[in-house]
Amino acid sequence: MRILVVDDELSMREYLEILLTRAGYQVEAADSVGKARAAIEAGRVDLIVSDMKLGGDSGMSVLRAARAAPSPPEVILITAYGTPESAVQAMREGAYDYLRKPIDNEELKALVQKALEKREIVRENQALRSSLAPGVGRFLLGTSPSMRAVWTLVEKVAASPRSTVLITGESGTGKELVARAIHWKSARSGQPFIPFNCAALAEGVLESELFGHVKGAFTGATSDRAGLLVAAGEGTVVLDEIGEIPLSTQVKLLRILQARMVKPVGSSSEVPFQARVLAATNKRLDEEVKAGRFREDLLYRLNVITIELPPLRERPEDIAALAKMFLAQLAGDLGRPALNFEEETLALLQRYLWPGNVRQLQNIVERAATLSDSDRLGPDSLPPALRGEVDTHSGGEEPQLVAGFSLERFLDSQERRYLMHALRRAEGVKTRAAELLGLSFRSFRYRLAKHGLSDREEPN
């Protein structure tokens, strides 16, 4: 993937170039709008990271040049502290996102990665449309029954134009990816997709960003401004981390979703909006309701359709495929097409509990690829936590404690791992594995079936 860095300041340009090159991308730099435009027109760019201030020029010109391209690259703008107006304007004109100075390296890298994923999904979608091939595309990968159920739901939901959808799941399970897939598969795909993090803002700012405000509504409101719900047009707005919005805003949001009308802060009249609203959270909203932190009526309004993303440890059959896909992507970016996992490495990945889910898997694959000199990634390319042989019974490592992961589920997953371990030790001979575990053959077979392991030829 190719990134264009645009900044008139040499030091900033160099800093961004080094940071992104180290992250494995192909980076080019431009010091003016003119040069940026030339690179865009030459079709050399997948993503642009541009400063908003470019001498006498503005990053908005770069954004507009990008949007005018036949296959528009994504654009991330960097704004100075305290200029939210220009950032929102940029979002409205189709920027992927913006970052405030001072730049946080990790935040930038995460944003770049997400923007490039979107670019892939758009391209994939174009390819899909032209080939009429069904399916969500390789970015929503998973062949486990639970993930296939998710894809089916995504397709159905994408086809229904208005319905609000609640996407739940632990951190890193792919909620945002699902939101994007719903958007890109829907008739709204030509319109803006606006992920909005509800946790990041104070109550007043949250409402004025979402609902808009009128001139004079508060100090600093120097003109009328449409909120994101209206600015998104016929597109999709994702209310990310919906569990974090204050109760008073919840009341308003409920009314707005029912009426499909929004009242800007300080205004007495309502305006209609067309955008589809998706909501995402890694909290258990039913528990938030019980604790009095979330309104039950809003939950009912949101969860007409719920897409629940299963944690990765509950679909171990997806681990190898995801790991291989991430490795293939990385290998392409790093120019090392021959990269592969050793069998043992894959086995270790499959045995791990993944408290950080798919995101953690992606990070660990990236780490392994970066550390390894050889084209075959051995177990030593994995962090120690993954290398411990069946860790809990060897006593070598603390079990990972994951919030919401009950003792029963923990024991269950340990049992599964222990069974697999025994099978491996017995080289697949079930009677021997049963013996190793001190179980009767019947009881062993019963447990294998319970964990869906019975028809496996090669346990790993």
Ligand X SMILES: Nc1ncnc2c1ncn2[C@@H]1O[C@H](COP(=O)(O)OP(=O)(O)OP(=O)(O)O)[C@@H](O)[C@H]1O
- Number of residues written out for the chain: 460
CB of 359 to ligand X, least distance (A): 4
CB 78 within 8 A of CB 50: yes
What tokens appear for 332 in the block? 């392409």
CB of 118 to ligand X, least distance (A): 10
Whole-angstrom Cα distance, residue 13 to residue 282?
A: 36
163 interacts with, out of Mg ion, ligand X, none, CB within 5 to 8 A per kind = none
359 interacts with, out of Mg ion, ligand X, none, CB within 5 to 8 A per kind = ligand X
Q: Which residue is nearest to Mg ion (CB)?
A: 176
Whole-angstrom Cα distance, residue 41 to residue 35?
A: 10
DSSP 79: E
282 interacts with, out of Mg ion, ligand X, none, CB within 5 to 8 A per kind = ligand X
Residues that bind Mg ion (CB under 5 A): 176
Whole-angstrom Cα distance, residue 47 to residue 93?
A: 16
- Gyration radius (Cα) of the chain, Å: 24
CB of 185 to Mg ion, least distance (A): 18
Q: Which residue has the tokens 């490495």?
A: 345
Residues that bind ligand X (CB under 6 A): 113, 117, 139-142, 169, 171-177, 282, 322, 358-359, 362
Whole-angstrom Cα distance, residue 301 to residue 321?
A: 36
Max distance between CA atoms of the chain, in angstroms, equals 80
CB of 115 to Mg ion, least distance (A): 14
Q: Which is nearer to ligand X, 245 or 358 (CB)?
A: 358
Q: Which residue is nearest to ligand X (CB)?
A: 174
Q: Which is nearer to Mg ion, 171 or 414 (CB)?
A: 171
98, 199, 226 from 424: Cα distances, Å: 50, 45, 61
CB of 140 to ligand X, least distance (A): 5
Q: Which is nearer to Mg ion, 119 or 351 (CB)?
A: 119
Phi and psi for 27 in degrees, rounded to 5?
-120, 140
8 interacts with, out of ligand X, Mg ion, none, CB within 5 to 8 A per kind = none
Q: Which is nearer to Mg ion, 341 or 354 (CB)?
A: 354
Phi and psi for 192 in degrees, rounded to 5?
-65, 145
117 interacts with, out of ligand X, Mg ion, none, CB within 5 to 8 A per kind = ligand X
CB of 66 to Mg ion, least distance (A): 25
Q: Which is nearer to Mg ion, 197 or 370 (CB)?
A: 197
Q: Which is nearer to ligand X, 54 or 365 (CB)?
A: 365
Amino acid at 402: V
